[in-house]
Amino acid sequence: MNIERYFLEALKPMKLQGSTGFNRRRQNLLADYDRANPNYPAELTALKKSESGNTVLKPESAKKIINIFKITDLSETNPRKLGNTGITISIKNGNYIISK
């Protein structure tokens, strides 16, 4: 009988493991950084998931990417890397191109 009691007492701290807590303002189980952002360009998401490739961007998508990654000095002779994603954005013949 004592062994069973000690075993059940040892399990008590594990009961609350993984709970979000009742006094939180929002009961979100998914963190904000794991949520999908509807403003994030679909071309960039597709290229991140692939092994390699090139994509010609529309001007609207290119402006979004430039704003997200805060790129200021992009030119035809100076391609820029997009953070640590392994993707490079460049300009060729007036078109914005992302490549991995």
Return the axis-axis angle of helices 59-68 and 42-49, rounded to nearest 10°: 70
Question: pLDDT tens for residues 41-69?
Answer: 889 889 988 999 999 999 999 999 999 99
Count of domains for the chain = 1
Q: Where does the pLDDT of residue 23 fall: very low under 50, low under 70, confident under 90, or very high at 90 and above? A: low
Q: Where does the pLDDT of residue 31 fall: very low under 50, low under 70, confident under 90, or very high at 90 and above? A: confident
Whole-structure pTM value: 0.63
Domain that holds residue 88: 2-99
Closest by CA position to 86, among listed 47, 34, 58, 28 = 47
Check: CB of residue 55 under 8 Å from CB of residue 98.
yes
Check: CB of residue 87 under 8 Å from CB of residue 47.
yes
Q: Where does the pLDDT of residue 40 fall: very low under 50, low under 70, confident under 90, or very high at 90 and above? A: confident
Question: pLDDT tens for residues 71-100?
Answer: 989 988 999 999 888 999 999 999 999 999
Of 5 and 83, more confident: 83
Mean pLDDT, range 13-33, rounded to an integer? 64
What is the three-class DSSP state of 71? coil
66-83 burial: b if 16+ Cβ within 10 Å, else e: beebeeeebeeeeebebe
- Which residue in the block uniquely carries the two structure tokens 């200021």? 72
